[in-house]
Amino acid sequence: MSNLNESGLNPAAQGKAAVMKQIPDDAAVRAESPLHHIDLPSMAGKQKDGGIYLKELAFVGHLSLRCDQKNAEQLSTVKEILGLELPLQPLTSNTNDQVQIRWMSPDEWLITVPGDRTFEIEGLFREKMTGHYSLVNGSGGQTILEVRGPSVVDLLKKCVPVDLHSSEFPGGKVVSTTFAKAGAVIRRLDEQSFELVIRRSFADYIWLWIQDASQEFGLVIEQ
Protein backbone atom coordinates (compact mmCIF):
# COMPACT_ATOMS: atom_id res chain seq x y z
CA MET A 1 0.00 0.00 0.00
CA SER A 2 2.87 2.38 0.68
CA ASN A 3 3.65 3.01 -2.97
CA LEU A 4 0.02 3.98 -3.50
CA ASN A 5 0.67 7.23 -1.75
CA GLU A 6 3.97 7.70 -3.53
CA SER A 7 2.33 7.29 -6.93
CA GLY A 8 -1.02 8.63 -5.76
CA LEU A 9 0.15 12.16 -6.55
CA ASN A 10 -2.08 13.77 -3.98
CA PRO A 11 -0.18 15.02 -0.95
CA ALA A 12 -3.39 16.26 0.63
CA ALA A 13 -4.69 12.75 0.76
CA GLN A 14 -1.56 11.37 2.40
CA GLY A 15 -2.05 10.12 5.88
CA LYS A 16 -5.84 10.17 5.50
CA ALA A 17 -6.90 7.60 2.96
CA ALA A 18 -5.52 6.05 -0.19
CA VAL A 19 -7.10 7.94 -3.06
CA MET A 20 -6.62 6.39 -6.45
CA LYS A 21 -7.17 7.74 -9.89
CA GLN A 22 -9.77 5.31 -11.21
CA ILE A 23 -10.44 7.03 -14.50
CA PRO A 24 -7.28 7.50 -16.57
CA ASP A 25 -6.94 10.90 -18.16
CA ASP A 26 -4.28 9.63 -20.51
CA ALA A 27 -6.03 8.71 -23.74
CA ALA A 28 -3.38 6.04 -24.37
CA VAL A 29 -4.71 4.07 -21.40
CA ARG A 30 -7.68 2.08 -22.63
CA ALA A 31 -10.74 2.43 -20.44
CA GLU A 32 -13.75 0.19 -20.89
CA SER A 33 -17.22 1.14 -19.73
CA PRO A 34 -19.53 -1.63 -18.52
CA LEU A 35 -21.15 -1.59 -21.97
CA HIS A 36 -17.88 -1.54 -23.89
CA HIS A 37 -18.54 -4.96 -25.42
CA ILE A 38 -21.73 -3.94 -27.21
CA ASP A 39 -20.06 -0.97 -28.88
CA LEU A 40 -22.90 1.56 -28.60
CA PRO A 41 -21.07 4.24 -30.64
CA SER A 42 -21.17 1.99 -33.71
CA MET A 43 -24.97 1.76 -33.36
CA ALA A 44 -25.46 5.49 -32.98
CA GLY A 45 -27.27 7.16 -35.82
CA LYS A 46 -28.18 3.87 -37.58
CA GLN A 47 -31.85 4.36 -36.82
CA LYS A 48 -33.25 7.88 -36.90
CA ASP A 49 -36.75 7.73 -35.43
CA GLY A 50 -38.21 5.83 -32.55
CA GLY A 51 -40.09 6.10 -29.30
CA ILE A 52 -37.00 5.57 -27.17
CA TYR A 53 -33.62 7.28 -27.38
CA LEU A 54 -30.79 5.77 -25.35
CA LYS A 55 -27.26 6.79 -24.59
CA GLU A 56 -24.63 5.77 -22.11
CA LEU A 57 -22.88 8.41 -20.03
CA ALA A 58 -19.66 6.45 -19.58
CA PHE A 59 -16.65 7.33 -17.42
CA VAL A 60 -18.47 9.66 -15.08
CA GLY A 61 -17.09 9.92 -11.54
CA HIS A 62 -19.43 8.29 -9.00
CA LEU A 63 -18.82 9.22 -5.36
CA SER A 64 -20.93 7.84 -2.53
CA LEU A 65 -20.93 10.23 0.38
CA ARG A 66 -22.21 9.35 3.82
CA CYS A 67 -22.29 12.04 6.46
CA ASP A 68 -24.54 13.66 9.03
CA GLN A 69 -27.17 16.02 7.66
CA LYS A 70 -27.37 17.67 11.11
CA ASN A 71 -23.68 18.58 11.01
CA ALA A 72 -23.64 22.16 9.69
CA GLU A 73 -19.86 22.14 9.25
CA GLN A 74 -20.02 19.09 6.98
CA LEU A 75 -22.85 20.58 4.95
CA SER A 76 -20.96 23.81 4.36
CA THR A 77 -17.77 21.91 3.47
CA VAL A 78 -19.65 19.91 0.84
CA LYS A 79 -21.04 23.13 -0.58
CA GLU A 80 -17.58 24.64 -0.66
CA ILE A 81 -16.12 21.63 -2.50
CA LEU A 82 -18.93 21.02 -5.00
CA GLY A 83 -20.45 24.47 -5.28
CA LEU A 84 -23.75 22.78 -4.58
CA GLU A 85 -25.71 21.97 -1.45
CA LEU A 86 -26.57 18.43 -0.40
CA PRO A 87 -30.29 17.85 -1.05
CA LEU A 88 -31.76 17.14 2.40
CA GLN A 89 -35.33 16.55 1.25
CA PRO A 90 -35.90 12.82 0.64
CA LEU A 91 -35.91 11.71 -3.02
CA THR A 92 -34.60 14.98 -4.40
CA SER A 93 -31.49 16.06 -6.28
CA ASN A 94 -29.40 19.19 -6.71
CA THR A 95 -27.49 19.71 -9.92
CA ASN A 96 -25.43 22.19 -11.84
CA ASP A 97 -23.63 21.85 -15.16
CA GLN A 98 -20.83 19.75 -13.63
CA VAL A 99 -22.15 18.04 -10.53
CA GLN A 100 -25.26 16.01 -9.76
CA ILE A 101 -26.11 15.11 -6.16
CA ARG A 102 -28.82 12.53 -5.54
CA TRP A 103 -30.46 11.91 -2.16
CA MET A 104 -30.11 8.19 -1.48
CA SER A 105 -30.97 7.93 2.19
CA PRO A 106 -31.08 10.34 5.16
CA ASP A 107 -27.30 9.95 5.50
CA GLU A 108 -26.21 9.00 1.99
CA TRP A 109 -25.84 10.83 -1.30
CA LEU A 110 -24.66 9.74 -4.75
CA ILE A 111 -22.53 12.46 -6.29
CA THR A 112 -21.54 12.33 -9.95
CA VAL A 113 -18.84 14.57 -11.33
CA PRO A 114 -16.99 14.79 -14.65
CA GLY A 115 -14.66 11.78 -14.87
CA ASP A 116 -11.53 13.88 -15.17
CA ARG A 117 -12.37 15.81 -12.01
CA THR A 118 -13.12 12.79 -9.79
CA PHE A 119 -9.60 12.44 -8.40
CA GLU A 120 -9.33 16.16 -7.63
CA ILE A 121 -12.75 16.27 -5.93
CA GLU A 122 -12.09 13.14 -3.89
CA GLY A 123 -8.82 14.71 -2.77
CA LEU A 124 -10.65 17.89 -1.74
CA PHE A 125 -13.04 15.86 0.41
CA ARG A 126 -10.12 14.09 2.10
CA GLU A 127 -8.44 17.42 2.71
CA LYS A 128 -11.37 19.50 3.93
CA MET A 129 -14.09 17.26 5.32
CA THR A 130 -14.24 17.00 9.10
CA GLY A 131 -15.96 14.66 11.51
CA HIS A 132 -17.35 11.23 10.90
CA TYR A 133 -17.99 10.65 7.21
CA SER A 134 -17.32 8.19 4.42
CA LEU A 135 -16.59 8.79 0.77
CA VAL A 136 -16.34 5.86 -1.62
CA ASN A 137 -15.39 6.13 -5.26
CA GLY A 138 -17.63 3.68 -7.10
CA SER A 139 -16.91 4.98 -10.59
CA GLY A 140 -15.72 1.62 -11.89
CA GLY A 141 -18.73 -0.23 -10.55
CA GLN A 142 -21.53 1.75 -12.14
CA THR A 143 -22.58 3.41 -15.34
CA ILE A 144 -25.35 5.79 -16.36
CA LEU A 145 -27.95 5.35 -19.07
CA GLU A 146 -30.04 8.22 -20.29
CA VAL A 147 -33.36 7.17 -21.78
CA ARG A 148 -35.71 9.66 -23.35
CA GLY A 149 -38.40 9.91 -25.99
CA PRO A 150 -42.17 10.03 -26.39
CA SER A 151 -42.55 6.40 -25.19
CA VAL A 152 -40.13 6.56 -22.28
CA VAL A 153 -42.83 6.41 -19.60
CA ASP A 154 -44.46 3.42 -21.32
CA LEU A 155 -41.09 1.69 -21.41
CA LEU A 156 -40.39 2.36 -17.73
CA LYS A 157 -43.85 1.16 -16.73
CA LYS A 158 -42.71 -2.28 -17.84
CA CYS A 159 -39.51 -2.07 -15.82
CA VAL A 160 -40.03 -0.35 -12.47
CA PRO A 161 -42.59 -0.63 -9.63
CA VAL A 162 -42.81 3.12 -8.94
CA ASP A 163 -45.48 5.61 -9.94
CA LEU A 164 -44.17 7.48 -12.98
CA HIS A 165 -46.96 10.04 -13.31
CA SER A 166 -45.41 13.49 -13.33
CA SER A 167 -47.52 14.50 -10.32
CA GLU A 168 -45.81 11.73 -8.30
CA PHE A 169 -42.50 11.67 -10.15
CA PRO A 170 -41.64 15.23 -11.19
CA GLY A 171 -38.39 16.34 -12.81
CA GLY A 172 -35.48 16.21 -10.37
CA LYS A 173 -36.96 13.42 -8.26
CA VAL A 174 -34.67 10.49 -7.49
CA VAL A 175 -35.71 6.98 -6.50
CA SER A 176 -33.67 3.91 -5.71
CA THR A 177 -35.73 1.00 -6.84
CA THR A 178 -35.66 -2.15 -8.92
CA PHE A 179 -35.42 -2.04 -12.69
CA ALA A 180 -36.41 -5.41 -14.11
CA LYS A 181 -35.50 -6.78 -10.67
CA ALA A 182 -31.98 -5.30 -10.81
CA GLY A 183 -31.19 -2.31 -8.62
CA ALA A 184 -31.20 1.14 -10.19
CA VAL A 185 -31.15 4.77 -9.13
CA ILE A 186 -33.59 6.60 -11.35
CA ARG A 187 -33.80 10.37 -11.74
CA ARG A 188 -36.29 12.21 -13.89
CA LEU A 189 -34.53 14.84 -15.98
CA ASP A 190 -37.65 16.24 -17.59
CA GLU A 191 -41.07 15.09 -18.76
CA GLN A 192 -39.67 12.69 -21.36
CA SER A 193 -36.22 11.82 -20.09
CA PHE A 194 -34.81 9.76 -17.26
CA GLU A 195 -31.39 8.81 -16.02
CA LEU A 196 -30.62 5.32 -14.73
CA VAL A 197 -27.58 4.68 -12.57
CA ILE A 198 -26.95 0.95 -12.84
CA ARG A 199 -24.42 -1.55 -11.56
CA ARG A 200 -21.62 -2.72 -13.82
CA SER A 201 -22.59 -6.36 -13.31
CA PHE A 202 -26.18 -5.71 -14.40
CA ALA A 203 -25.35 -3.40 -17.31
CA ASP A 204 -25.45 -6.07 -20.00
CA TYR A 205 -28.67 -7.58 -18.63
CA ILE A 206 -30.34 -4.16 -18.49
CA TRP A 207 -29.19 -3.38 -22.02
CA LEU A 208 -30.72 -6.64 -23.27
CA TRP A 209 -33.90 -5.91 -21.32
CA ILE A 210 -34.21 -2.36 -22.69
CA GLN A 211 -33.71 -3.59 -26.26
CA ASP A 212 -36.47 -6.14 -25.80
CA ALA A 213 -38.82 -3.76 -23.96
CA SER A 214 -38.33 -0.98 -26.55
CA GLN A 215 -39.01 -3.18 -29.55
CA GLU A 216 -42.62 -2.02 -29.83
CA PHE A 217 -41.60 1.67 -29.67
CA GLY A 218 -38.40 1.62 -31.77
CA LEU A 219 -35.01 2.14 -30.14
CA VAL A 220 -32.58 4.80 -31.28
CA ILE A 221 -29.03 4.80 -29.95
CA GLU A 222 -27.52 8.22 -29.42
CA GLN A 223 -23.95 9.18 -28.94
Q: Is 47 in the site for other proteins (CB under 8 A)?
A: no
To other proteins, the closest distance from the beta carbon of 186 in angstroms equals: 11
Q: Is 69 in the site for other proteins (CB under 8 A)?
A: no
Q: Is 31 in the site for other proteins (CB under 8 A)?
A: no
Residue by residue, DSSP assigns the chain as -HHHHHHH--GGGTTT------S---TTS----TTGGGTHHHHTTT----SEEEEEE-S-EEEEEE--TT-HHHHHHHHHHHSSPPP-STT-EEE-SS-EEEEEETTEEEEEE-GGGHHHHHHHHHHH--SS-EEEE-GGGEEEEEEESTTHHHHHHTT-SS--STTTS-TT-EEEEEETTEEEEEEEEETTEEEEEEEHHHHHHHHHHHHHHHTTT-EEE--
To other proteins, the closest distance from the beta carbon of 107 in angstroms equals: 9
To other proteins, the closest distance from the beta carbon of 53 in angstroms equals: 26
Task: Tell me how many residues contact other proteins (CB under 8 A).
Answer: 13
Stretches 35-43, 103-111, 121-129, 144-152: which one binds other proteins (CB under 8 A)?
103-111
Q: Is 104 in the site for other proteins (CB under 8 A)?
A: yes
Q: Is 161 in the site for other proteins (CB under 8 A)?
A: yes
Measured from the CB atom, is 78 or 104 closer to other proteins? 104
Q: Is 91 in the site for other proteins (CB under 8 A)?
A: yes
List residues near other proteins by CB under 8 A: 90-91, 104-106, 108, 161-162, 175-178, 183
